[in-house]
Amino acid sequence: METTHDFDVIIIGAGAAGLSAAQMLGRSLRSVLVLDTASPRNRLAAHMHGILGGDGLNPRDFLARGRAEVAAYGVQFGTAGASTVAETATGMAVTTTDGTTLTARRLIAATGVRDELPPIPGLAEGWGRDVLHCPYCHGWEVRGSRLGVLATSPMAVHQAHLIRQWSDEVVFLSADAGPVDDAVARTLGSRRVVIEPRRVVEVTRNDAGALTGVRLADGDEVALDAIFTAGQLHPNDAYLDGLGLEREEMPFGSFIHADFTGKTSNPRVFAAGNITSPMANVPISMSAGTMAGSMVNMDLVTEDFDLAAERIDAA
Ligand SMILES: Cc1cc2nc3c(=O)[nH]c(=O)nc-3n(C[C@H](O)[C@H](O)[C@H](O)COP(=O)(O)OP(=O)(O)OC[C@H]3O[C@@H](n4cnc5c(N)ncnc54)[C@H](O)[C@@H]3O)c2cc1C
């Protein structure tokens, strides 16, 4: 049975969640490796909002600052991705995309999600700029302008209600929401949300690349300044498949289950941020990472005492 590990903790993912966990563990004098493929979810946005004390920061600058803070406590970073994870007798073994295997007593998974947008020409080009998903992140910047809500499921009706808070001119592009019944139409109409059931075939842009509207299946155009849409979310968790972790079916898809401390169904594996919580924004992911980092330290503290007592008993 192995008694030594390369690290106390390996954290996979250096976004808001992973770096927050690393900060707690580094400050707890733990040896920590953070593996990261440097593709955070909000990388295409120029500014972040809804982050107290960090309003308007560039996401990459924010994470670079976080890394520097964490590195000052001795946390190490690796650029390889995690490709598989397996249990060992007393810990976890992570095999990376470059074929190296590293061991640790605990693992924190903080690898976020991937957003898949509907394959409409011109849509993906504006992701994080004029094609948006979260009004709390970017609604204020487009307030009062002509906003489209591009449905990707029947749940988009709620998004149309929400977006109306930021503008009097909202068009609900409803083709992928299914038929809009009379009650929904009445509610949306009561606050002048326009329902446009024709299918969007293209997002139109001017020569500078700015969004000008959408082209519909019959060739008509609707002028818009920004579009809100909910892409399909895919958690970046394939490397954990071999562990058979318990999952939770949510309206956004199937996600690994973790309790509020980040504990998964495997006692040596914790998870934080969007990988378990699709609604989490940056501060919520930071809070989950902070909690997971401190809980992992507590878990190791308990194990350190148990092992010390066992050694004394054995002697
Ligand atoms: C366009 C856009 C704009 C947004 N704007 C805001 C905003 O203004 N304010 C706000 O609060 N929230 C915003 N969000 C939400 C925010 O991006 C997420 O809530 C946050 O990034 C989640 O943090 P995380 O640490 O869970 O994941 P991420 O930040 O996505 O970090 C995960 C990290 O894990 C890495 N990774 C993935 N797989 C592996 C692997 N196998 N091995 C190693 N590393 C891996 C990735 O490369 C990435 O660096 C925005 C989201 C989008 C899509």
Kind and range of the H or E run holding 27: helix 16-27
Is the pLDDT assigned to residue 106 strictly greater than 90? yes
In a 10 Å sphere around its CB, with 0-12 CB exposed, 13-18 middle and 19+ buried, how is residue 226 labelled? Answer: buried
Question: How far is residue 162's CA from residue 183's CA, in Å, rounded to a whole number?
Answer: 17
pLDDT band at 201 (very low <50, low <70, confident <90, very high): very high
Q: How many structural domains comprise the chain?
A: 2
Shared domain for 197 and 238, answered yes or no, is no
Same domain for 171 and 263, yes or no, is: no
Q: Are residues 298 and 240 in the same domain?
A: yes
Output the domain CATH number for residue 81.
3.50.50.60
pLDDT at position 297 over 90: yes
Reply yes or no on whether the pLDDT at 10 is more than 60.
yes
Nearest to 8 by CA among 310, 305, 299: 299
Separation of alpha carbons 156 and 75, rounded Å = 42
Tell me how long the chain is.
315
Is 30 among the domain residues?
A: yes
| 59 CA to centre of ligand 1 in angstroms | 9
Q: How confident is the model at residue 238 (pLDDT cuts 50, 70, 90)?
A: very high
Query: Which region among 2-16, 252-266, 285-299 has the lowest average model confidence (pLDDT)?
Result: 2-16
Q: Which structural domain, as residue segments, surrounds residue 31?
A: 7-115+232-314
* Residues paired with residue 137 on neighbouring β-strands, in sequence order: none
Please tell me the predicted confidence (pLDDT) of residue 45: 95
Model pLDDT, residue 3: 62
Note whether 22 and 82 are same-domain residues: yes
- Looking at the CA of residue 277, tell me the nearest atom of ligand 1: 26
Q: With 80 as the cut, is the pLDDT of residue 241 above it?
A: yes
Whether residue 111 is found in the same domain as residue 244: yes
Rounded-to-integer distance, Cα 241 and Cα 234, Å: 14
Global pTM exceeds 0.85: yes
- 69-101 tens-digit pLDDT: 999 999 999 999 999 999 999 999 999 999 999
Which of 213, 229, 245 delimits the end of a domain?
Answer: 229
Tell me, yes or no, whether 125 and 182 share the same domain: yes
Residues near ligand 1 (Cβ within 6 A): 12-18, 35-42, 44-45, 48-51, 81-82, 110-112, 115, 127-128, 133-134, 137, 236, 239, 273-275, 280-283, 285
Q: Which atom of ligand 1 is nearest to the CA of 132?
A: 1
| Band of pLDDT at residue 300, cut at 50, 70 and 90 | very high
Per residue in 279-292, pLDDT (tens digit) is 999 999 999 999 99
Cα 65 to ligand 1 centroid, rounded to whole Å: 15
Rounded-to-integer distance, Cα 119 and Cα 113, Å? 18
Residues paired with residue 116 on neighbouring β-strands, in sequence order: 232
Rounded CA separation 68/256 (Å)? 29
Is 43 in the same domain as 63? yes
Collapsed DSSP state (helix, strand, coil) of residue 147: strand
Phi, psi of 31 (to 5 degrees): -85, 125
Looking at the domain assignment, is residue 2 inside a domain?
A: no
Question: Does residue 56 register a pLDDT over 60?
Answer: yes
Position 46 in a domain: yes
* pLDDT attached to residue 1: 43
Which of the listed residues 183, 213, 229 is the one where a domain comes to its end?
229
Residue 293 burial (C-beta neighbours within 10 Å; 0-12, 13-18, 19+):
buried
Output the CA 40–ligand 1 centroid distance in Å: 4
Q: Which of 89, 101, 230 is nearest to 159 (CA)?
A: 230
Pairing of strands 269-271, 194-196: unpaired
Residue 73 Cα, ligand 1 centroid: separation in angstroms? 23
User: Mutate which of 42, 125, 290 to test ligand 1's pocket (most atoms within 8 Å of Cβ)?
Assistant: 42
Ligand 1 center to 36 CA (angstroms): 11
Domain endpoint, select from 229, 261, 295? 229
Cα separation, 67 vs 212, whole angstroms: 38
Q: Does residue 47 belong to any structural domain of this protein?
A: yes
Tell me what percent of the residues of the chain surpass a pLDDT of 90.
Answer: 96
DSSP reduced 3-state for 166? helix
Look over the chain and give the mean of its residue pLDDT values, rounded to a whole number.
96
| Whether pLDDT at 2 is above 80 | no
Check whether residue 71 and residue 149 sit in a common domain: no
